[in-house]
Structure 1
Amino acid sequence: MTRRPDQRPAGFLSRFLKDRATRPGEVYGVPGQGSTTLLSLASMAAILFLWWLVTWMGWVKPLFLPSPQAVWFKFLDIWANGFTNTPFLEHLGISTARVFGAFLLACLIGVPLGLAMGMSPVIRGIFDPPIEFYRPIPPLAYLPLMIIWFGIHETSKVALIFLACFAPIALGARAGVKSAAIEQIHAAYSFGATRWQVMRQVIFPSALPEIMTAMRIGIGFGWTTLVAAEMVAATRGIGYMVLSASQFLQTSTVIAGIIVIAAIAYAFDLLMRWLERRLVPWKGKI
């Protein structure tokens, strides 16, 4: 039997799809990690070029949008000479300590509480309403309460960032409990596992992908709240630097501070993604 030129041998489609599915970094024609990285770099380069073009053509006054070169030279100046008689690394260290201190405290409290809320209707009934009540409130709304309750020192700043990180972490851990299959839990109990063993060996590994995602979201909220936390009685910190520079219309300093905050937050997000690939390699594959 002859085959027309436009016909392909039997099984061609299945072999083609198998080849595409097993090709490194691609699944059925979806761009892989390398292509995504190139697209991200191209997108950033396009944004920088557009920024440079707008300022070079004079379409926007430097007061409102300084050129990339001006921002870069201002950053170098702050790096070398500091800001308000304080070294730049000290500003950076203070802000990083505030955010990551509050974030770690939110993880230590929020993850166990979220797991308990997912496993116990009683605990969920007690803690779910207050968390859901304050979660949508902007941090600036309860900043005065933090100052009244804890004063104007470090406690109020850390507490404000803690509250911003705590809600998404706790709710993410609670939602992750639902990822554990009931058959696995019953099987563990049938083999004589205790409640603690079931939680540690069945529920927690199943909830870990949701917990990792919630931690990424929580640290993002923490950096978002940093500027608000350093609004009152702060003399050091990246957020303080941004706010202080804005009062004197030092736009290049403001943009430099914003870029530093974004860079640190993005670097930590990349670290969390790397940890996800190591700790939960099955995420998105089952």
Structure 2
Amino acid sequence: MNSLVGAALFVAPLLVLVAIWAIVVPLFNVNPRIFPSVGSVAEAAVAAIGDGSLIRHIGASMLRVGLGTFLGVLVAVPLGIAMGVSPAVSAFLTPLFRFFSVLAGIAWIPIATLWFGYGFGAIIFVIFNAVFFVVAYNTLLGVSTIPMTIRNAAASLGAGRWALLTEVLLPGALPNIVTGVRTGLGFAWRGLIAAEMIATNVGLGYMLFVARDFYRTEVIVLGMIVIGVLWLFIDRLLLVPLERATIERWGLVRRT
């Protein structure tokens, strides 16, 4: 019952927004080239689903963001742990991370297209950059918060480097890592849409870009809705439960 109430409260503002949209557009006779009606967007959705184009765009975007995020996390977590364990590595890399963190994501699109061309590689590179720095920095924070007394206690009980990594450092940093993944994935999603407008011929960003050229505002709004709904599904069904499970697992909060 609590879950149903929570879901209803979450969806209610979105339904109110749609209702306002359905009333205001015909009431003020808004030009469809400026903003479409609810009906025209629904018709565009039916047409895009019917010809399979929407599924192709969604599939291409999800594949890119999934692979780019996976590669970013795969590289960022070990590096973040190394920075948290070694003060020398942390002192050397922290200025670089602070410099490149503001450039992560969209700022890399022009040079990514020069390096990898217009296509899959450039987009994956942009997503990788959007995820990598956020996850690595959060991993560093997570490892840094583990008291030295716990590390020394594990070592005194016979824990080797591998046991210290897998049973102390990685579990202790896991809540911060998950938070970093959640934040980085949000940056990756925005970088993905921007990159797809420039560097590919399929994907949700490309769908928005092409629709603009033909003044098809109903397709643009449809793409915006799909992007938002996909992110809500990813966030609410995957990231939030994962974040809660890791935080509760290590006693940072208690389930009510």
- 1:34-113 alignment runs, 5 A limit: 35-58=5-28, 60-82=30-52, 87-113=53-79
What letter is aligned with 1:172? Answer: N
Q: Within 2, Cα distance between the matches of 1:176 and 1:36?
A: 30
Q: CA deviation at 1:122?
A: 1.9
What is aligned with 2:164? 198
Unaligned runs of 5+ in 1: 1-24, 26-31
TM-score (norm 1): 0.81
Q: Within 2, Cα distance between the matches of 1:240 and 1:269?
A: 23
Are residues 1:274 and 2:244 paired? no
Q: CA deviation at 1:284?
A: 2.3
What is aligned with 2:212? 246
Are residues 212 and 158 of structure 1, via their aligned partners in 2, closer, same or farther at CA, if it must alter by over 3 Å?
same
Q: Within 2, Cα distance between the matches of 1:203 and 1:142?
A: 32
Query: Does structure 2 retain, via aligned residues, the 8 Å contact 1:227–1:243?
Result: no
Q: CA deviation at 1:68?
A: 2.0
Are residues 1:131 and 2:100 paired? no
Structure ID, larger Rg: 1
What letter is aligned with 1:100? Answer: G
Q: Within 1, Cα distance between the matches of 2:50 and 2:163?
A: 54
Q: CA deviation at 1:138?
A: 6.2
Q: Within 1, Cα distance between the matches of 2:37 and 2:148?
A: 58
Which structure has greater helix proportion?
2
CA offset digits 1:97-137 (Å, max 9, x no partner): 11111000001001111111111112213332222212112
CA offset digits 1:121-157 (Å, max 9, x no partner): 1221333222221211264433221122222232111
Unaligned runs of 5+ in 2: none
Query: Does structure 1 retain, via aligned residues, the 8 Å contact 2:57–2:204?
Result: yes
The alignment yields a C-alpha RMSD, in angstroms, of: 2.1
Equivalent position SS for 2:198: coil
Equivalent position SS for 1:231: helix
TM-score (norm 2): 0.90
The size of the alignment, in residue pairs, is: 252
